[in-house]
Structure 1
């Protein structure tokens, strides 16, 4: 009986782990690159000054700013749903994707700029630390799987092919 429960528990953890792995992949391949891309705008002096001011805001304002992109893009997403309802499914879907990308980029950039202020909230600092530790454990588990090792080999082969192709084309 105990073995059956242990197997069931492992199976449930594996199934529940899929959304977590997807969330971590989104963070690694979505949040961070989009935030860095948006950060390139900081080379423009007005944006650089704005970012400097954002780094100085007190914790309550940092928290409010951090929530702003989510709330600010809600009307855009509702418009996208209306477009889908009105028979403009492609346009509505494109608007949802654009809003998601923009919202993710803004949220990521705001987090980078205001993380020290946000960490003044002990509950948030604890949650961020716990998430980071959990994420490291999930990444270590993922890297140990045969699927991840195979995907790494395939990605390395594609990168090598890409480099050869570019060397021939550009060189």
Structure 2
């Protein structure tokens, strides 16, 4: 019975986990590109130079701060839900997650050289990324992941053909 239950849970949870990993991977890629373009803007470039000069403890505070900035967005999602505006609630959560992800990813790129000078941070980061890499390898080895990747590649090629008209006619 245990093996049967385990198999059912795998069938239910693995596609969900694969979708989350795939979306997050794609989201990080495109949000990273957008944030890199924004970093060229002179006020943002000055801010990033200032952040690079922070001592390790201040860099850690700057890195953690965006998590606090998302709290009002989450509270607005709760408020929308309490007033039966579920679409606005979901949109708030999605927008907040995207903004926080983009900001934290950019801050990570800017502050990482300073943050890794903190010994416990470097150990934690190493363990976290080793765990993440094992999880990603497991997910990418799944047939569902490989099928989803193939479908996305085909969809992107189809969209590219539709937009740029590069298909052979």
Count of residue pairs the alignment pairs up? 168
Please say if residues 160 and 166 of structure 2, whose CA atoms lie closer than 8 Å, have aligned partners that are also in contact.
Answer: no
User: What residue in structure 2 maps to residue 109 of structure 1?
Assistant: 106
CA contact (8 A) 2:55 2:114 kept: yes
Equivalent position of 1:78 in the other structure: 75
Residue deviations 1:118-147 (CA, integer Å, cap 9, x gap): 112222211211222222223333333222
Q: 1:84 to 1:110 in 2, by over 3 A?
A: same
Aligned to 1:60: 57
**So what's the TM-score if we normalise by structure 2?**
0.77
Deviation per CA, 1:13-58, whole angstroms, max 9, x where unpaired? 9988778656644542233432331221111111111111111111
Summarize the Cα distance change of 1:127–1:106 in structure 2 as closer, same or farther, 3 Å threshold: same
Q: Output the CA distance in 2 between the equivalents of 1:97 and 1:88.
A: 14
**Which of 140, 143, 146 matches 1:143?**
140
Shift in CA distance, 101/156, structure 1 to aligned 2, threshold 3 Å: closer
Q: TM-score under structure 1 normalisation?
A: 0.76
* Unaligned 5+ runs, structure 2: none
Shift of 1:161: 2.8
State how far apart, in whole Å, the 1-side matches of 2:84 and 2:94 are: 17
- What is the alpha-carbon root mean square deviation over aligned residues? 3.3
Aligned counterpart in structure 2 of residue 98 of structure 1, from 91, 95, 99: 95
The 1:27–1:63 alpha-carbon spacing in structure 2 relative to 1, beyond 3 Å, is farther
User: Could you tell me which of 138, 157, 164 is aligned with 2:161?
Assistant: 164
Deviation, structure 1 residue 83: 2.4
Gap regions ≥5 residues in structure 1 = none
